[in-house]
Structure 1
């Protein structure tokens, strides 16, 4: 009897030791996983906070001579990224206007017709599109918009390339969100004699609104920091431009331009910090909405 008890004690001790080992392993790997983003945010804050001000948000970038003069006198670089902020906002809004209706309607179609050939083909194309490099989407927008329509670089071309990037995420999030709605809700509406289109507009979409909004916000946060497609479509502008048929700047484009000028290094960190804050805010909002939906 005592040997059996000792064996049980030994087994319990080994299990406890294994439990502690794996718990420590999980904690260590979790720290390793989050440490890069923590270090990146820390570096951006330390090197970029000094330039953040109202002028940084409300003014356009300085030229090289102004930046060099400010650096030589030990002052902050004058100017800001107002043209990039307005351009980013303009193109993201246009991209959302294009992508959200198309993505939501496509997601509803996939949900309502799960076994049809066209639905399966659309789903596969959407999955493939999600993995296409952004520079390729920029080339597509260049061929579709820059050459035949605007006859030059424009905010419209940039928004088209961004909307193509947003589409797969909106389509998949719409379909998966609608799958989570109990089928009995849809059946109850149909049993009451509600027309099919009203079931979609008045029942399915309002019920899944939080999930749809989460997918849309994640899609927007994905395209906020894209540079490659905008280099081939929007090109950039030194002035604030709200004309969708003209070249327009964006925050990622400004970061690339600052990178190519050694006198603008401080503006790189500040612009990156502001862009990171925008993306982080959208991700936190989407996670908050998703948690409330659950």
Structure 2
């Protein structure tokens, strides 16, 4: 992958907000999973959500993409001068606004080649059969090759996903999401199970992607978080414990006590 990590910047310096969570609470029966969570994410920011298992990180991602309804609060998504309250929108309507979600386990078509996986996403208006039998426009072919080059799989485009490493499968799914040109990308533990080499290549990929989109990333790998995060939101027992730079949160005694000072599975 011909990518070099880029220096992190402070996205709040003159940046516009892209997402605002205000007093979000989520309950499942009598269990309150999220308690009055508020935070603002800015354009072209990489925001990492960290915290112990069960702290509410993935639940917040589910709420943003419409997978889990909220009990109270407001989720506002900004696009230029337009703002949308998306907390009551269906997941497919939210995705149409430019919000893409990647789950922890890769979701790809193993019976299709890498090129076919990406081409199917680019030609999303076609059925599977139409996409695999149609002649793509020059613009579509160019877009497919751009994505394959970006995710570092251009040389493997005629191979099937079964031959890919775990990290390469993760990159392929990110490439599939990029076909929709998302403004906000939600990633759930993107480097879980990767070795250091693949983790570093994923860091380089995400730092490149932030030029054109905002990324919210749930992750336990603290070296990865330190390398890519512009800001970090620390969750504990469904609440925001602290928020800010890595330097800030690593020196917070409460954060050290509940998360940084103990090993995670």
> Which bracket does the TM-score occupy, shorter chain normalised?
under 0.3
Rg (Cα) greater in structure: 1
Greater helix percent: which structure? 1
TM-score, normalization by structure 1: 0.23
